[in-house]
Structure 1
Amino acid sequence: MKPWTQLDAAPIPGGATLKLMRRGEDEFSITLGHNELMNSRLRGSEESLATLAIERIGQRPGLRLLIGGLGMGFTLRAALAALPADAEIVVAELIPAVIAWARGPLSPIFAGCLDDPRVSVLEADVVAVIREGQSRYDAILLDVDNGPDGLMVEANDRLYDHAGLAYTNAALRPGGVLAVWSAGPDRNFTQRLRQAGFAVEEKTVRARAGAGGAKHMIWLADGAGSASAIRPAQQSSKRRR
């Protein structure tokens, strides 16, 4: 088997380091320590994050989506393939190197999708983007960290606690949906979604589309799409594990 070669490394908040690895000519991996966060040959569940959410909201004029986490672009490409020409996709990515990799060594995987006129990429914390986006999005797709039980950045917990979910609910338009990717199930997170006013469906999907592999979890949560979802008591609440 061919060995892995490190192409680049990037510090992330909290002092850890992301590494971009390549094996052979066309297999790439992004790792954190000994954990592989994503691999270019395992894209099925990331694509499902987009397709399931778009199926949920249906086709309507002027759809606007927010994707939290650029990764290797699998969710973005799947969303572009499913959306009409008048749609808009905002991608919020916290780590500058991930955006640079997308335009550099990972550009064959991205296949020009960052230049699609429907796409805007923000070097920003998706938490801040959500909090500034009251009633702005038809769908919010989160593939941040390893899911609600994160590995990378402790501050990512702000997405998945009671206050974070309340802000996300408020950022959705009526009829909007929140879709969340995770490496595995999390009953406590399902409960928090319901407490934040979402109607929740859990979907188990495969890492390899139609070909088995590890099982991942996607939550599809229909939101109220109302600023009333933000309750003062929730804004100071902490995530419970």
Structure 2
Amino acid sequence: MSGYTVLSRAPIPGSSEDLILYQRDDEFTIRISGYVSELMNSRMHGSEDALAEYACPIIAGRAGVRVLVGGLGMGFTLAAALRSTGPDATVTVAELVPQVVDWNRGPLGECAGRPLDNLRTRVHVGDVAELLRGSRAVWDAVLLDVDNGPDGMTHKENDWLYSHKGLKAIAAALTPGGVLAIWSVDPDPKFTARLIKAGYSVETRIARERPGKGAKHTIWLAVRP
């Protein structure tokens, strides 16, 4: 990777791969060891913003909104959720890799405006599934940007999130009328059908990496009746 410097490596729990953080001038990128393509880039986060910007208006007007973000990444979805909710909302972010939290408190912090420093932010270091299993009507919105979507790359435990059983469990964890928003690198009609079968009202939207350009990513907005 010409011009990039490796800043840090972090093992992915439950996987043989590492996350690798690179920097070139004021640009950051994260890759998975053994993969050529980027996992995320600090200059291309439009669809990560859209994950929250599309979902949070669905629950607008509620008091004391509780949002759960699965996957911290570079902090862009967390920051967008904080911008898109009221002053009495709390946003919990669950991140499986502890070093990613450290990166966001350190070199990545300015990329998204240091959302971890916001007093409305809560951090859970661990699997987002831990906060969803067994919960009942806790979250008004669950925003998942985990392992590139239903067709995951690294952590097999993520398969549960996108299974019929997992989707039913998430529905139970949502408040009535709450929304599950899922980011994916690719469209997946079979997954849309799985959401419908799990009882959600589903809309599929497309978001670009940058305003009006860049790769197109898929966002499902699935509302619990």
- Mark yes or no: TM-score above 0.5: yes
2:139 aligned residue:
137
Which of these residues, 131, 146, 151, is aligned with residue 153 of structure 2?
Answer: 151
Equivalent residues in 2 for 1:31-180 (5 A)? 31-32=31-32, 33=34, 34-180=36-182
CA distance in 2, matches of 1:41, 1:111: 14
- By how many angstroms is 1:23 displaced? 1.0
CA distance in 1, matches of 2:8, 2:134: 33
Residue type matched to 2:136 in 1?
A: Q
1:218 aligned residue:
219
1:17 aligned residue:
18
1:27 aligned residue:
27
Residue type matched to 2:180 in 1?
A: L
1:20-56 deviation digits (Å, cap 9, x = unpaired): 01112x1000101323110000010000000100112
1:186 aligned residue:
188
User: Does the Cα contact within 8 Å between 2:60 and 2:85 map onto a contact in 1?
Assistant: no
- By how many angstroms is 1:59 displaced? 2.3
CA distance in 2, matches of 1:133, 1:109: 32
Other structure's SS at 2:212 match: coil
CA distance in 2, matches of 1:222, 1:202: 12
- RMSD of aligned residue pairs (Cα, Å): 1.3
Residue type matched to 1:73 in 2?
A: G
1:99-141 deviation digits (Å, cap 9, x = unpaired): 1110111122142321211110100111111114210011000
CA distance in 1, matches of 2:18, 2:115: 26
User: Does the Cα contact within 8 Å between 2:134 and 2:169 map onto a contact in 1?
Assistant: no
Other structure's SS at 1:52 match: helix
CA distance in 1, matches of 2:213, 2:114: 28
CA distance in 2, matches of 1:133, 1:98: 25
Other structure's SS at 1:207 match: strand
Other structure's SS at 1:30 match: strand
CA distance in 2, matches of 1:167, 1:125: 15
1:48-93 deviation digits (Å, cap 9, x = unpaired): 0001001122221110000000000111111111211100111111
Q: Which runs of 5+ in 1 are unaligned?
A: 225-241
User: Does the Cα contact within 8 Å between 2:94 and 2:128 map onto a contact in 1?
Assistant: yes
Q: Which runs of 5+ in 2 are unaligned?
A: none
Other structure's SS at 1:86 match: coil
CA distance in 2, matches of 1:61, 1:44: 27
Other structure's SS at 2:107 match: coil
- By how many angstroms is 1:179 displaced? 0.2
Residue type matched to 2:18 in 1?
A: T
Other structure's SS at 1:85 match: coil
Other structure's SS at 2:213 match: coil
2:197 aligned residue:
195
User: Does the Cα contact within 8 Å between 2:11 and 2:18 map onto a contact in 1?
Assistant: yes
Other structure's SS at 1:214 match: strand
Other structure's SS at 2:206 match: strand
- By how many angstroms is 1:2 displaced? 6.0
